[in-house]
Amino acid sequence: MAKQIWLNLPVKNVAKAKDFFWKIGFSFNEQHDTPNSTCMLVGEGNFVVMLFEDTLFESFSKNKITDTQSSSEVLISIDAESAAEVDELMEKVTKAGGTVFAPPAESQGWMYGAAFADLDGHRWNVLYMDFSKLPQEN
């Protein structure tokens, strides 16, 4: 069975995408950088998100890229350690040129989250989950 999983995303400009994600706090494994791709690391487990130039992505996906201005293929969710971290990340996203499409808000009494689109329109959901407030079944 699979030993690892990673996500591949198409981007219009690898350098601009890398700069955006670096500004909001993600890191990179630059050993895997090429002019047409970069290896982004997300979270404590260093989940790999490969960012590929559109034409390179299309060459191995054998499919057209989704128009992220009119449709979504995936919503990428990441966790936060606190509500304040959610707020801070949304500020960084805005300053780096991303779009917050769902401002920070409480949900269901035990979650706090927000959502943004990166420079290429990929949608990201950020959640802080306070399990101590999770409703208990009787």
pLDDT, tens digit (0-9, with 9 covering 90-100), for 90-138: 999 999 999 999 999 999 999 999 999 999 999 999 999 999 888 887 6
Domain 1-65 indexed as CATH 3.40.1190.20: no
pLDDT, tens digit (0-9, with 9 covering 90-100), for 48-92: 999 999 999 999 999 999 999 999 889 999 999 999 999 999 999
Domain 72-138 fold:
2,3-Dihydroxybiphenyl 1,2-Dioxygenase; domain 1 (3.10.180)
Domain(s) labelled CATH 3.10.180.10 in the chain stretch across 1-65, 72-138
Which segments of the chain does DSSP mark as H helices, in order? 14-23, 54-61, 83-96
- Going from the C-alpha of 23 to that of each of 1, 17, 61, 62, 64, the distances in angstroms are 36, 10, 28, 31, 29
In the numeric block, the tokens 């201005």 are attached to 69
